[in-house]
Amino acid sequence: MTDRHHVVQEAVIGGKRVGAPESFEVLDPSTGQPCALVARCGAEQVDQAVAAARETFETVWRHRSAADRATACRRMAEVLLAHRDELAELETLDTGKPISQAYVDVDAAARYFDFYAGTVQALFGDTLLAQQDLIAYTLREPHGVCGHIIPWNYPLQVTARTVAPALAAGNCCVLKPAEDAPLTALRIGELALEAGFPPGALNVVPGYGEEAGAALADHTGIDHLAFTGSREVGQLIMTKAAANIVPVTLELGGKSPHLVFPDYDPAHDVPLMVRSIVEHAGQNCSAGSRVLVHESVHAGLVEELARVFGALRIGRGGTDPDLGPLISARQRDRVLAYLELGRQAGRLVTGGAAPDDPELAGGFFVQPTIFDDVPPDSRIAQEEVFGPVLSVTPFSTPHEAVALANGTPYGLSAGVWTRDLPLAHWLTRELRASQVFVNNYSAAGGVELPFGGYKLSGFGREKGFEALREYTRCKAVAIAVQPPPVAG
């Protein structure tokens, strides 16, 4: 239990800390013990936050030049890095992830603000070739007040990823973090003031999904909704966006495949495949959770994967293991249920249970697990597990590999492992995923690469320059060109 547990972490609304009548406990997933008390916001606080965002948008932020907005974003990057240790420790406490991964997350959060500080200054409209008697151009204008609802797996990164382009483009934001991991998002809300964003530009309202989340999604004062989370809640958010006719981006789940061909390089490729499913214990929407492998190298690859999995160290986030806990008992039990399904469908190679190490007692840990010979239509091959669970399925031709890769309801990321360039190019065209990595795999892929869904993984693009288009709308202006009367 820390000091944080005695002080309720309040919302950040209009530049001030704002309480709520009730609070809720946040657990440290490494120990299962309470680590913070957080304000349980509801419709009233969401209303205040939307009003604060609207006021700041109308009176301050939309009048600022792109260069001014960029200055605040650049300072924000500096402020985040100045609080690097504090933010990384808080993220590890809140999510259980290994501390070195939390440092990566702080750095990425800073990079988002830095990236959009630069790119927003190159967000120009077009000059249009209209009729001879018209000069026409387009403007990219902010939506106004953006609502952001985010999950618990990467709170630092996803907060920055979604609010940095929105703020840079001139919007004001109301963010609802996940109840399981709200701490760093709240801290970002405070640090934004230090960085020079005007009060009300970024408001953070913690609470339950069905209360604060639903109030935000329902709110008629919201002009754009960005949701990252599960498919079920995403569908609900879309119905709410439909009711208010506002644009929505949905970043939902994934079941991302690795396609491994006979000329893959075991020494280089296998550690990257393993990292893609082990990072944050597989609680990553773009985790590489399926390995599709050519039958001629199938046995050798499984042996190598098992060897690397066997050497992974599980531990509490603060000890910087390879693998930390899952976020909650609920999530752990869900993953354990999938392990049972995996056993029924395929062959257990390694892992398959919660660890029995007494050192890990109380935490929500699951062993990294591999299932081999998994039938492609089984639930373990089709559904997102959101845990450190890899399923392996062999194929015999590239066409079959593509059919398997595209044969789930999801389409987020994909990894291609071959040095055969024409084959790799063909695969990148055929795969239905927003990010295709060839001989590398970086979950969600850096700050510059647009990211989003095909199929049930959602739509709209976050990250990269694309996100600036997402957080603006286009206005066309046409001005008559009138020759003056000829003198005399």
Instruction: Summarize as ranges the residues that interact with ligand NAP (CB under 6 A).
Output: 149-153, 176, 178-180, 208-210, 213-214, 217, 228-230, 233, 236, 251-253, 285, 384, 386
Q: Which helix (H) or strand (E) holds 405?
A: helix 398-405
d(CA 71, CA 75): 6
Out of 179, 211, 251, 462, the active site residue is 251
Q: How far is the CB of 158 from ligand NAP (least distance, A)?
A: 6
d(CA 320, CA 145): 39
DSSP 245-298: T--EEEE----EEEEE-TT--HHHHHHHHHHHHHGGGG--TT-EEEEEEEGGGH
Q: How far is the CB of 10 from ligand NAP (least distance, A)?
A: 17
Active site residue 285: yes
Q: Which is nearer to ligand NAP, 151 or 351 (CB)?
A: 151
Q: How far is the CB of 252 from ligand NAP (least distance, A)?
A: 5
d(CA 476, CA 369): 54
Q: What is the largest CA-CA distance in the chain?
A: 100
Q: 283, 269, 284: which is closest to 326 by C-alpha?
A: 283
Q: How far is the CB of 225 from ligand NAP (least distance, A)?
A: 10
Q: How far is the CB of 473 from ligand NAP (least distance, A)?
A: 23
Angle between helices 66-82 and 99-119 (to 10 degrees): 160
Strand order, beta sheet including 33-39:
8-9, 33-39, 23-28
Q: Which is nearer to ligand NAP, 48 or 289 (CB)?
A: 289
Nearest position to ligand NAP, beta carbon? 209
Q: Which is nearer to ligand NAP, 119 or 249 (CB)?
A: 249
Q: Which is nearer to ligand NAP, 92 or 228 (CB)?
A: 228
Q: Which is nearer to ligand NAP, 209 or 351 (CB)?
A: 209
Q: Which is nearer to ligand NAP, 302 or 444 (CB)?
A: 444
Pairing of strands 458-459, 202-204: unpaired
Active site residue 172: no
CA 202 to chain centre: 18
Q: How far is the CB of 178 from ligand NAP (least distance, A)?
A: 3
Q: Is the dihedral of CA 424, 425, 430, 432 positive or negative?
A: positive
Out of 41, 285, 462, 470, the active site residue is 285
Q: Which two tokens stand for residue 377?
A: 């239509």
d(CA 462, CA 444): 10
Give catalytic residues, as residue numbers.
251, 285
